[in-house]
Amino acid sequence: MGNEKLIQCPGCGVSLPSMGMPPDPRFNASGECWVLYMELSAYMLGLADTSFPHQYVVDAFAAQHSGPSVKPINTLFALVGLYLAVEKGFTGRQVQRVHMLLAARGREWPRLTPPTTPGSVSVRDALQAEEAEDRMAAIKNWDKSVWESWANERQRVMDIVKEVS
Ligand SMILES: [Zn+2]
């Protein structure tokens, strides 16, 4: 360790050893955090699970890395996914269907205000769980933690889901 330089992710707050990566422009994320997201994504897609659990990772990461440069629809749809997964037990595939129904409405989406403190679970926690079962449990825990952190906007998200259900 010693003189190892740490970079704190502006979204999830996790500090990671610097890899000299530029921040990802689509999310409020450090490049180092984005690398972990890519690694976890590759793992999830490799499962080739038709219920598409990768959606749980996509939505947790997007909702935890919201910010002024992130499109409102990306944050909102991520929270819709977390709500349906955490509180309604939807599969990733079922979440995608709701995303499609919402997108078909073709309306403007509000810009949601991120929580001042991000959920305490991050992409790093999911990757640190090595056994498949533990990793899926860590991902569900991550989803729950991020969804709960957005307490100030949860009602607005649930109202929007009602528009298509
Ligand atoms: Zn992050």
The sign of the torsion formed by the CA atoms of 134, 79, 50, 47 equals: negative
- How far, in Å, from the CA of 39 to the mean position of ligand 1? 13
Supply 63's token pair: 């909702």
pLDDT tens for residues 60-101? 999 999 999 999 999 999 999 999 999 999 999 999 999 999
Ligand 1 centroid from CA 165, angstroms: 32
pTM confidence score: 0.95
Token duo for residue 136 = 């899926």
Q: What is the pLDDT of residues 7-43, one digit of tens each?
A: 999 999 999 999 998 888 789 999 999 999 999 999 9
C-alpha 104 – ligand 1 centre gap (Å): 30
Domain assignments of the chain as residue spans, ordered by start: 6-162
What's the gap in Å between 105 CA and the centre of ligand 1?
A: 31
* Residue 44 host element (H or E): helix 31-46
The tens digit of pLDDT for each residue in 99-117 reads: 999 999 989 999 999 999 9
